[in-house]
A = this chain, B = another copy of it.
Amino acid sequence: MTQLQRLVISSSQLQGQQIELTPQQQHYLIRVLRLVSGDRFIAMNGQGQSWLAMLSGAQAQILQPISVQTELPVTVSLIVALPKNGFDEIVRQATELGVTNLIPVVSDRTLLNPSPQKLERWRKIAIEAAEQSERLIVPEILDPMPFSQALSSDTNYGFICEARGDLPHLLSCWQDTVKTPHQSPQTTITIATGPEGGWTPAEVESACTAGFQPVSLGKRILRAVTAPIVALSLISAAVEQEQGNMVTEEQKPEN
């Protein structure tokens, strides 16, 4: 079976059962993917809804809504101190792992402030990666901000990852402290990973003051581009595992 191609559309393109395709989208579907009128693809609005659609000239017809669940059961925000290189790949992999918001921050040891072009590029990568990983939601990439500002937003569970020291492991912290969390999209988890050279002691202290728990990601030194992916892998797996357990509990016969 051929895998259907995916295309992110904006909700304003939807007119009843019809999708008005932009010239770029027509080019992509017809020239790049080589679809012809009558061919099917999946249209998604990037905010949780998707439809089976059929190409029809410069438009597309909606055939039926699609109901799949590829999103995490909770909201996960990732605060990442901007590394010198490799943020493109962080955006791509974090999207694959189900992140809800990505917050690039300027930390004490961050060397550069990204250009608006970079930000535009990251948002495009997030759309592509959401399509490829079959997500329904395109993660939001926030404008870069100072670390202190990122710490000020409300979260239910906050973790700041540090390279050294005898800190408890993120996975243990999650599984020990948050045994049976109430999982809903209103439950927010925020993870912060540092730049090359790590967070400064002052930054760790201000995160702790803001309610973040300092955690380790293991005994080896991870690069700034690896740490966010490791942290997200653990949290995504833990919440999907708990979701699986809850479903199993609910399905148990009552005897």
Contacts and interface: CB of A to CB of B under 8 A. Distances in A.
A47 interface: no
Interface stretch (A11-19, A142-150, A238-246): A238-246
Contact of A218 (B89, B97, B171, B223): B97
Q: How many copies does the complex hold?
A: 2
A37 interface: no
Nearest to A98: B220
A234 interface: yes
A221 B133 contact: yes
Contact of A233 (B89, B172, B234, B244): B234
B171 A238 contact: yes
A192 interface: no
Interface string A10-45: 000000000000000000000000000000000000
A96 interface: yes
A172 B244 contact: yes
Contacts of A70: 219-220
A148 to B, nearest CB: 26
Given A96-B223, A132-B223, A218 B240 contact: yes
Interface in A68-123: 69-71, 89, 92-93, 96-98
A12 to B, nearest CB: 27
A151 to B, nearest CB: 25
Given A169-B240, A219-B240, 7 more contacts: A97-B230, A98-B218, A171-B241, A172-B244, A218-B236, A230-B233, A233-B233
18 contacts: A71-B219, A96-B221, A96-B226, A97-B230, A98-B220, A133-B220, A134-B220, A169-B240, A169-B241, A171-B237, A171-B238, A172-B241, A218-B236, A218-B237, A229-B229, A229-B233, A230-B237, A234-B237
Interface of A: 69-71, 89, 92-93, 96-98, 132-135, 168-172, 175, 217-223, 226, 229-230, 233-234, 236-238, 240-241, 244-245
